[in-house]
Amino acid sequence: MTQPEVSVSGSMALCNETSAPGPNSTTVTPIAPSHAGTVVPIDRGREMGLPGMAYTSGRYLQRERETVFAQHWVCVGLASDVPNPGDTIPANVAGIPIILLRDRTGEIRAFHNICSHRGLQLVDKPCNIQGKIRCPYHSWAYGTDGSLKSTPHFGGYYKDSYDGFDRSSKGLAPIRCDRWLDMIFVNLSGNAVPLEDYLKPASDRWACYDLTQLRREPRELNYTCKANWKLAVENFSESYHLAWVHPALNDCSRMEDHFGFDVGDTHVGQGSLKYVSGQIEGRTLPTFDNLATIGKEKVAEYITVFPNLMLGVPPDYFLVMTVNPISAGRTQERLTFYFVSDEAMTPEKQALRHLPIDLWDVTNDEDITMIERLQTGRQSPKFDGGCFSPELEKTVYRFQQKIAEVVGS
């Protein structure tokens, strides 16, 4: 590891919490930065991870919303979720309600999903906005650029305004929004580095793949699990558990065929050297071009983009997985799949496309069983943060280290 290695063991100041506030709580207890801890090299085997309360406390999640999720780029949806002008969906970032919409020019915009009048959630299901977004409560209406267009009777019956009412200051609150491939990212604080720079270590690593060939598969996987969101990220980031949790997967891609790699200072990566494409009667899916010439014919790589986006690129598809906390102990997971070129998307190839999706479904069920038990274990006062294999769990260590730095900052 090249960066300073900071123990994330747990002398955190946020303690004694018995009833965690929900996602809408306005009471925020500051978390002292003392848990940045002392510098302990990972290869001494003495370092410990985040304490249990980082996974069970509503207040810790609230702090993560203000730091981890507000200050970084977070993938909140897909451009193909809003394919047509006017298409609008509700989404959320760690419980903060937002709107994603495609305006008439084709640009994707994000707004906080609250009416400026009395704060009603404006959009509660996917829809196509023809003209204006109308609040169902008192019928205030907004343009797709967020501007407030009408406020019926707000100045009294049959008067839409009153002297001094500044309609221009009551538009929807915009959120910084950008895209990479099909993924829509938002940055709530508005002051993160440009998305392109944030993702550059990942996009550079995969510059050898022609990602313009990707086509979205209609079938996707969605889960709700009873575990903290970080456990899902950590589980994705290491292959140490493979032999015991995923015996079927381990048959074709063994633990020892895996490798880790750096993806800049913020993201982490790992991969397999022995990926085997699914076959039906000798047929396989099309793969990215030129993989043989760059030695990646059998390589599958996976990158965890901080904080909660996990990507995979085997030779014949591309995975986008997001995990989004509903509460400290509940997480939504979404997996979407892209295949390589139009040729992969024919009806005859559907069974082949479903092979890796079925495998992910089985694998993720196996993973969820484990992370839910990790969550239960974090209720124990004896949990001290655990420890990491210096060789096989560097990725988990670095992720927790980053969380501790950001939450404590």
Q: List interacting residues with Fe ion (CB under 5 A).
A: 367
Structure tokens at 277: 């494409």
Nearer to Fe ion, 102 or 246 (CB): 246
CB of 115 to ligand FES, least distance (A): 3
User: Can residue 195 be called a binding residue for ligand FES (CB under 6 A)?
Assistant: no
Q: Which one of the spans 136-144, 282-290, 329-337, 388-396 is the region binding ligand FES (CB under 6 A)?
A: 136-144
Q: Which one of the spans 8-16, 101-109, 130-138, 237-245 is the region binding ligand FES (CB under 6 A)?
A: 130-138
Nearer to ligand FES, 115 or 303 (CB): 115
User: Can residue 135 be called a binding residue for ligand FES (CB under 6 A)?
Assistant: yes
| CA distance linking residue 349 with residue 389, whole number of Å | 41
Q: Residue 132 binds what, of ligand FES, Fe ion, none (CB under 5 to 8 Å, by partner type)? A: none
Residue 295: is it exposed, middle or buried by C-beta count within 10 angstroms (0-12/13-18/19+)? exposed
User: Can residue 117 be called a binding residue for ligand FES (CB under 6 A)?
Assistant: yes
Q: Which one of the spans 34-42, 117-125, 224-232, 315-323 is the region binding ligand FES (CB under 6 A)?
A: 117-125
Nearer to ligand FES, 24 or 38 (CB): 24
Cβ atoms of 150 and 140 closer than 8 Å? yes
Give the list of residues 6+ apart from residue 206 with CB closer than 8 angstroms, or none: 301, 303, 313
Residue type, 33: P
Q: What angle do CA 117, 324, 383 make, to 5 degrees?
A: 125
Is the bond preceding 307 in cis, omega lying within 30 degrees of 0?
Answer: yes
| CA distance linking residue 150 with residue 167, whole number of Å | 9
User: Can residue 118 be called a binding residue for ligand FES (CB under 6 A)?
Assistant: yes
CB of 367 to Fe ion, least distance (A): 4
Nearer to Fe ion, 154 or 240 (CB): 240
Classify 376 as helix, strand or coil.
helix
Structure tokens at 339: 């295949």
User: Can residue 141 be called a binding residue for ligand FES (CB under 6 A)?
Assistant: no
User: Kind and range of the H or E element at 267?
Assistant: strand 267-272
User: Can residue 120 be called a binding residue for ligand FES (CB under 6 A)?
Assistant: yes
Site size toward ligand FES, by CB under 6 A: 8
CB of 256 to Fe ion, least distance (A): 16
Residue 407: is it exposed, middle or buried by C-beta count within 10 angstroms (0-12/13-18/19+)? buried
Binding site for ligand FES (CB under 6 A): 115, 117-118, 120, 135, 137-138, 140
